[in-house]
Structure 1
Amino acid sequence: MVFSRLKAKGGRFKTGLLRVWNLASYLYSTSRRNFLQICIWLLVGSICEGAALALLYPALAIVTGHPLALPIFDALSLRYGLTDEFRFISLLSAFFALTVFGALAARQRAIAVAFLLSATMKRVRLALFASIAQSSWSFLSTRRSDDIAHLINGEIERLETAVGCIVLSAQNFFFLAIYTLLSLLVSPGITLFSVGVGIGIYLVLSKARRQSGDFGHRLTEFKQLQFRLVGTFLSAVKTIKAYNAEKAYVSSVDKSLTDAYAETNAYVSASTWSGVFFTSLTALALAAFLAVSILVFKASVSEIGTLLIIFSRLGPRFSAVQDQAQALLMNLPAFEALQRLRRDASSHAEPNSGASPLPRLTRDVCLKEVCFSYGDRMVLKDLNLQIRVGMIVAITGPSGGGKSTLADLVLGLQRPQKGALFVDDHRLEDSDCRNWRQQIAYVPQESQIFNGSLRDNLTFGQLNASDEDIKRALVLAHANEFTDLIPGGLDADLSTEYTGLSGGQKQRLSIARAIVRQPRLFVFDEPTSALDAYSAGLILNTLDQLKQTSAVLVISHDPLVIKRADRVLELTGAGHGDVL
């Protein structure tokens, strides 16, 4: 039974070391230069500090009347007649100079650490965001956006804390090694005794470190839940207020915060005992050190004084190692969660564009014998559809009938599980999808206004568009009726002003953005839903104009849209569709 417990503890210790090693390896692999700079300045600083402390031993020996044999000083004393007082002042001066130089090295080390932190955080954020951005829609559509936002914006701060702990721990271990070597030079026996006591104290406090790791996992769960609650509230705030459900959400947030703070308070209550134990054990270790030094090793006053100075520098660093180990284990789950998301996103990355360019659509887009299902639920079965340039094709049918899935297939966001999609007789492969989307403009049901100017919003995805292209698109989308009245024109900032645009105005801006792209295929998702008759009529007129030069696919339940369409496909459910 005892062996199994020891084995379990040993397994946890190895696992903890491996987790820390993974983070340290990641730091080194992504920031070698900063890492090496820190090591160099750490080495210089520790040597200066160690050498400065080493000079105190002969200085104290001179004061106590037991001078040590110092070959250089002895030779100089004989040649120039140096007194003990001069030797004492010289040693103190050298101590001061080395201390100042060590402080300068510490400053350079602090700067290198700051650069390491900022560079690492930038790389982590960018790598994670790039992995998410380049992952497939089939992956993104199954992930909660607030969970991703929590990792990118919340857990990244905890990772910064973990990285700082890694650097500080390495620094303190380095200084511990230097001080231990110095004390070995003074008294090997006392040093070995003290090291054994220190290791014993560290092992006694292992439970506190394990509690920190467990609390770190719970903290990730609590923060994720809070992001979900706030994200859901903000995305559905209008509906929540319409149902007078604010109090229910406030109660949910209150419960989440209460649970989180209760867990935090319980952790703090338990973990602070480690400080009590550490202080008590350190006092006991100091008493044992003095007793052993005097009674067992018969150490001189200068030896004991020098060792006390060294150990006075060792104590805070040893305490810092324990504190940093707890903080590191508490925040390490954030790094693991971020890495897990990045690996998942990278494993679902969209294929790179093919080497050969995709032919520009001139005739039609055809779906042939296309099948698609979600698990056991068949959404599209042996579907055949032709979307010709110069035509409006409308897709209608009940909710869940496969309309959005069909649009995703045409956009290349989803891939047929059977059958194929053809662009002018060219079979669309996985590697063609990104190139294919260069010829498509998509107008979603919920029109999005991006942070930036009016020009930024209209040239989204088509940065080389001229002002003439933008103005032509605004006219064609009947959006110039209100954009001409906006002070600042195309340079007006829509991220801070004019956030009260109506649904119809946002929809017309979204259509203008699509027109600026000059695509060969337009895909509209419920373009007239929730619009007044005037705005809907303007959009219908725009659809008639767009089909003159492009193919138009529209998902809609609106009878007026269906009436304007040249071809209508009704998806009746169970994977079937009928052309009307």
Structure 2
Amino acid sequence: MKTYLRILQFARPWADFLPLYLLYTILGIFFGIGNLALVIPMLNVLFETTSKLAVPEHLPAFAPTLDYVTGTFNYFFAQIIAQHGKLGALLFVCLVLITSVFFSNVFRYLSLRIAARVRARVIRNMRRTLYNRVIQLQLGFFATERKGDLMSRFTNDVQEVEISVVNTLQAVVRDPLTIVGYFVVLFYMSVKLTLFTLILLPLSGGIIAGLAKRLRNQAKTSQSTLGSMLSVIDETLGGMRVIKAFNAQEYIKEKFEQQNDQYAQASRRIDNIRDLASPFSEFAGVLVVAGLLYFGGTLILGGNSDLQAASFIAYIIMFSQVLTPAKSLSASFGNIQRGLVAGERVLSIIDVEPTVRDTPDAQVLPPFQHQIELRNLQFSYGDNVVLHDINLTIEKGKTVALVGPSGGGKSTLADLVPRFYDPTAGQILIDGHDLRGATIHSVRDQMGIVTQESILFNDTIFNNIRFNQTDATEEEVVRAAQIANAHDFITATPEGYQTLIGDRGARLSGGQRQRLSIARAVLRNPPILILDEATSALDTESEKLVQEALMRLMQSRTSLVIAHRLSTVQHADEIVVLQHGRIVERGTHEELLRNENGLYKRLSLLQTSPNPLQ
């Protein structure tokens, strides 16, 4: 119930729809019950028992009671009989019935329109909230979560909430009100018979609750398995080249089949359990109707009932109509379980609080003027300490390179500067301002980042260069491309700057993608630049073009460069050598090469020696 209410929170503000929805629903129920109540006067006319009606001498004074409704109808009914006879009374009943059915359906339609609006609002707000939360989360969150499972929450889980929860909202609100309305009328007609009908209801309710609990457990398995299956699909599409190269089609198919079979089995169990709820509730209702016919019949035949034959028939018809909303309600409780589990999966992401966020008193970081300082910096992934007591100062306009063996902490250190993570201990200061006291937006607004993997979007070349710089002119975009050595290949494409580059830039070569990333950074024109192995995955020709573009980009900027190829950082003002999360050497290229026993010298020999393995 807690999850259901939380899902409904996404429909706020409730005042926009709830009063009207309740009004239309109640009016629809009122006229719906009236349709059945009109059976009594019609049967009285047909059975010629109208003389036994309790007819008031005067039109009753208004009161919100059933006595007023029945008294008013009987008053006009008696007037019609007196003036137009039984055929006129029958015509009157039929006209009232048509009017009642018309208004019943009008109000039902109006309530459905409001329900559709609420459904669209809930799903829109839930998906928006989920997307906003994912955008806010720190990079470390995505290192532990499967991409396919996250996609499943955006698509299948939200859709399941719409199908199973929001679509049943009307049943959850309307059906209980309908049942209450019917029982109010039934109690008004006969207290003794209505109490008899309530005997089996707690029993059937308990069985349906047990089925709902089993459904919930199976739904958790189903949604989790679906997320795993989507992860396999995502890995397959992203790694198709490797799968084919290793002849791993059968291996990956087996992984997919395993998840696919588990999902099919879980879905089948859910359907079997869910489909049991509705037939059971219907069978239990028929049992009650049969018992009611027998019990009520004995009372009437024995002369112990206050109901006439016409009223008893109308009572049976009206009670049988209770079965429809009861059956719908039980089916809704079955359907809703899967949606509640999907809702919990969505809410579990929404409830994750970002570990990197603005403090309540965060200030806008002033424009960069002097230096970046890393003071006694430490960082850990859980219990695994990655960086130990890092002290480093980068003066404005200088280039500092980070080199060292893989796993030494270079990329982690670079990720701390734009606050992708916050340090476990120590400080990162820009012009004396601790970055944790500045807003994340103002920190990253002063930085440009070019990584080894060029992250491009399925859009035009122009829009990729102008990413989040929508006020940039065409001349500025072209100038950025020229600086990045990208203009020539762009103009050689069929549509030039308006050429679509495909998913993640699949229609471009690695060097072309990297030069577009550099052009994007050039257009941003940041005072601080972070280059994370920007040329390590390129061929010699592409590396030369990209390296030229990077040199232009780094001019007059403060740069932090990570590189495996030491030849690309020889020009750096300072080279910092990291090993096991500690700074083991620092200096210029020439200074470090003079240290015969140093790690940098050893790495340089490995890269320049024609036979490094000998």
TM over 0.5: yes
Q: For 1:392-541, list aligned pairs within 5 A.
A: 392-495=399-502, 499-541=506-548
Distance in 1 (CA, whole Å) between partners of 2:232 and 2:101 is 53
Partner of 1:41: 24
Tell me the equivalent position of 1:99. 101
Equivalent in the alignment of 2:348: 340
Unmatched 5+ residue regions in structure 2?
Answer: 57-71, 588-614
2:331 aligns with 323
Q: How does 1:115-130 map to 2 (within 5 A)?
A: 115-130=117-132
In the other structure, the counterpart of 1:387 is 394
Q: Match for 2:325: what amino acid?
A: R
Equivalent position of 2:112 in the other structure: 110
Contact 1:353 / 1:432 at 8 angstroms: preserved in 2? no
For residues 137 and 430 of structure 1, do their structure 2 counterparts lie closer, same or farther at Cα, with a shift above 3 Å needed? farther
Q: Which residue of 2 aligns with 1:304?
A: 312
TM norm structure 2 = 0.86
Q: Which residue of 1 aligns with 2:293?
A: 290
Provide the C-alpha distance between the structure 1 equivalents of 2:18 and 2:395, rounded to a whole number of angstroms.
Answer: 59
Structure 1 residues 406-445: Cα deviation after superposition (integer angstroms, max 9, x where no partner): 1111122222222222223333234343211101011121
State the Cα distance separating 1:136 from its structure 2 match: 2.9
Decide whether the 8 Å contact of 2:138 with 2:354 is kept in 1: no
Aligned to 1:150: 152
Query: Match of 2:458, SS?
Result: coil
Q: Which amino acid aligns with 2:203?
A: G
CA contact (8 A) 2:10 2:126 kept: no
The residue aligned with 1:191 is 194
Larger radius of gyration: 2
Equivalent residue number for residue 557 of structure 1: 564
Matched residues in 2 for 1:293 and 1:305: separation?
A: 10
Tell me: higher relative CO, structure 1 or 2? Use CA pairs within 8 A at least 6 residues apart. Answer: 1
Pairwise CA distance, 1:100: 0.8
Contact 1:31 1:119 in 2 (8 A): no
CA distance in 2, matches of 1:75, 1:48: 18
Retained in 1: the 8 A contact 2:394–2:558? yes
Instruction: Say if 1:164 and 1:75 are closer, same or farther in 2 by CA, change over 3 A.
Output: closer
Q: In 1, are the aligned partners of 2:576 and 2:585 still within 8 Å (CA)?
A: yes
One-letter amino acid matched to 1:326: G
1:59-83 per-residue CA deviation (whole Å, 9 max, x = no partner) reads 2222212222344554685697232
Aligned-residue offset at 1:464? 1.8
Which letter does structure 2 place at the counterpart of 1:359? Answer: P
The 1:119/1:290 distance shift into structure 2, 3 A limit, reads same
1:7 corresponds in structure 2 to none
> For the structure 1 residues 266 and 436, does the alpha-carbon distance in structure 2 shift closer, same or farther, using more than 3 Å as the test?
closer
Q: 2:242 aligns with which of 231, 239, 254?
A: 239
Is residue 69 of structure 1 aligned with residue 72 of structure 2?
no
Residue 371 of structure 1 is matched in structure 2 by 378
Conservation of the 8 A alpha-carbon contact between 2:289 and 2:316: no
Amino acid at match of 1:86: G
TM-score of the superposed pair, with normalisation by structure 1: 0.91
Q: Is 1:254 aligned with 2:261?
A: no
- Asked whether the equivalents of residues 46 and 178 of structure 1 are also in contact (C-alpha less than 8 Å), the reply is yes
Question: Distance in 1 between the 2:231 and 2:582 partners?
Answer: 34
What is the Cα deviation at residue 191 of structure 1? 1.9
> How far off is 1:475 after superposition?
0.3
Using the TM superposition, give the Cα deviation of residue 96 of structure 1 relative to its aligned residue in structure 2, in angstroms: 0.8
CA distance in 2, matches of 1:113, 1:172: 14
Kindly tell me: are residues 547 and 266 of structure 1, through their superposed partners in 2, closer, same or farther at Cα, counting changes over 3 Å? closer
Q: 1:23-79 deviations in whole A, cap 9, x for unaligned?
A: 44x256454423333222111211111222222222222221222234455468569
Shifted more, 161-170 versus 278-287: the winner is 278-287
Deviations along 1:205-243, one digit per CA (max 9) or x if unpaired, are 332222211111111221121122222223333222222
Q: What CA distance in whole angstroms lies between the structure 2 residues aligned with 1:239 and 1:198? A: 60
**Partner residue, 1:8:** none
Inter-CA distance 564–486: structure 2 relative to 1 (3 Å threshold): same
Which residue in the other structure is 1:12 paired with?
A: none
Establish whether residue 223 from structure 1 lines up as the match of residue 206 from structure 2: no
- For structure 1, the residue ranges without an aligned partner over 5 or more in a row are 1-16
Task: Measure, in 1, the Cα distance between the counterparts of 2:511 and 2:248.
Answer: 28
Q: Measured at CA, do residues 571 and 390 of structure 1 come closer, stay the same or move farther in structure 2, by a change above 3 Å?
A: same
Give the Å deviation of 1:482.
0.9
Preserved CA contact (<8 Å) 2:282 2:327? no
User: Which amino acid is 2:147 matched to?
Assistant: S
- Once residues 498 and 145 of structure 1 are traced to their aligned partners in structure 2, the CA distance between those partners, rounded to angstroms, is 19
Identity across matched positions, percent: 23
Change (3 A) 1:475 1:288: same
Cα distance in 2 for partners of 1:22, 1:296 equals 49
Q: How many residues get paired?
A: 562
